[in-house]
Chains A and B, each alone.
Chain A
Amino acid sequence: MKKSQQNEPETPRQDNLAGEGLQGTAPSKDNDIPRLGNRKLIGKIQVKSLDILILVMAVVLIVLFAYFILKR
């Protein structure tokens, strides 16, 4: 029994799993770069969206005020 156990090759599946787990928990430096890029991209999109919101609210205010003055 002992011999057979000793001779039994280590299961490659376990090694692979362990390897996958490590990759998942501690991301390599290569993975950080696209994440930072994504954040920057999200920030740019947010700024663009806010620009649109500012423009829309400015137009709403100007239209409302013009309406109030013309209505008099």
Chain B
Amino acid sequence: MEKMHKVSWTERYRRLSPQEKKNATKEFFINYALYMILGAMIICVIIVNPRFIYYDSLINILCQSSTRLIVALGAAGLIILQGTDLSAGRILGLSACISASLLQSLTYSNRMFPNLPQLPLFVPLLIVVIVGGALGAFNGFGVAKLKLHAFVVTLGSQLIVYGLILVYLYFGVNAGKPIGVLDDRFVNFVLGGITIGSFRVPYLIFYAAIVTGIMWFIWNKTKLGKNMFAVGGNPDAAAVSGVNLTSTIMLIFILSGILYGAAGFLESARIGSNSATTGTNYELDAIAACVIGGVSFFGGVGTIRGVIIGVVMLQLINAGLIFLSVDPSWQTIVKGAIIILACAVDVRKYLVRK
């Protein structure tokens, strides 16, 4: 067996019969069609507009990817459990509004809470993480205990959270206005950076990297991660093997909620002005990125590396289309086609495996 592992894929390919080679080549091109097309698209954008790979634009794309990556990591866990989360964007939006309202500049006259003293940064972060975790627990309870479908539960909670954002924005003297003019400490905490030579890397990218590292550890090195893959792959077999389905599903939902809360905190400072539309459609971007990155909707399959590739590729395509001055309506058509292609490849892989 060990010898088998040591044989390189080129050697294995050479040993195949002509018909097997033909089939293997076809499978390769179909399974990696999406990556090839997206890669070719990015190369075309670079050729047409070389400013696309300038340091500033790349850092901007990475900053935009950072919060989306955190959301996608949360959603990926739920997709691995054969579920989904439509409330991710709204939970992020609520967290962003709460963070912004608690961390407005003291010199700003139209503060949402005029009498609120300057808070340490960790207080709003803790509050939004608790809020996100509680909303995740609500979704998890519906799925794990009440056996409701994740799509329906999270659709309901999406609407509830959107309502909560609107109620919150009309709280006190704010009267529905976007929450802006944030404390400099907060903005610097997120958008400040480390200067290496003539390059400046924002802290936001480091935070995303830290969260990714933590999630990699949870997915690959903890009992919860192993149980998540077991439950997603075959819930009945996992239950027979002694895995507690309820607690596993609940914990993954809570973890996702915490990630949305943290992403909302960071996104709040990144965009500067937070309103009811903050976080809209982020869940769809996250789900699309997961599917592009090979996280299977049939459950039990997915990697952190795949999620990162999916998020960055989707963001590169988004930015590339903007660089080509493509109309926003056409951008959504391209995104939709990419998602359908990714889904088709996913279902095909599943059927071939079966």
Residues of A at the B interface (CB closer than 8 Å) are: 43, 46-47, 50-51, 53-54, 57-58, 60-62, 64-65, 68-69, 72
Provide the bound-state CA to CA distance between A64 and B336, in Å. 12
Which of B337, B341, B348, B351 sits near A64, CB closer than 8 Å? B337
Known: A43-B354, A61-B334. A50 touches B344 (CB 8 A): yes
Residues of B within 8 Å of A64, CB to CB, are: 330, 333-334, 337
B175 within 8 Å of A (CB atoms): no
Residues of B within 8 Å of A46, CB to CB, are: 351
Within residues 78 to 109 of chain B, which ones have a CB less than 8 A from any CB in chain A?
Answer: none
Which of A47, A60, A69, A72 sits near B337, CB closer than 8 Å? A60
Which of A43, A58, A69 sits near B33, CB closer than 8 Å? A58
| Inter-subunit contact B337/A57 (CB<8 Å) | yes
SS class of chain A's interface: helix, strand, loop or mixed? Answer: helix
Interface size on B, residues (CB 8 A): 25
| Inter-subunit contact A53/B44 (CB<8 Å) | no
| Inter-subunit contact A47/B348 (CB<8 Å) | yes
Known: A54-B33, A61-B337. A68 touches B351 (CB 8 A): no
Residues of B within 8 Å of A61, CB to CB, are: 37, 41, 334, 337-338, 341
| Inter-subunit contact B333/A43 (CB<8 Å) | no
| Inter-subunit contact A57/B321 (CB<8 Å) | no
Which residue of B has the minimal Cβ distance to A64? Answer: B334
Provide the bound-state CA to CA distance between A72 and B322, in Å. 12
Residues of B within 8 Å of A58, CB to CB, are: 33, 37, 341
Provide the bound-state CA to CA distance between A42 and B337, in Å. 25
| Inter-subunit contact B338/A50 (CB<8 Å) | no
Known: A50-B347, A58-B341. A65 touches B44 (CB 8 A): yes
Chosen A-B contacts, 19 in total, with CB atoms closer than 8 Å, are A47-B348, A50-B348, A54-B30, A54-B33, A54-B344, A54-B348, A57-B337, A57-B340, A57-B344, A58-B33, A60-B337, A61-B37, A61-B337, A62-B37, A62-B40, A65-B44, A65-B334, A69-B44, A72-B325
B48 within 8 Å of A (CB atoms): yes
Which residue of A has the minimal Cβ distance to B325? Answer: A72
Residues of B within 8 Å of A54, CB to CB, are: 30, 33, 341, 344-345, 348
| Inter-subunit contact A69/B48 (CB<8 Å) | yes
| Inter-subunit contact A72/B48 (CB<8 Å) | yes
Assuming A50-B348, A53-B344, A64-B334, what are 17 further A-B pairs, CB within 8 angstroms? A43-B351, A47-B348, A47-B351, A47-B352, A50-B344, A50-B347, A50-B351, A51-B30, A51-B348, A53-B340, A54-B33, A61-B334, A62-B37, A64-B330, A68-B330, A69-B48, A72-B48
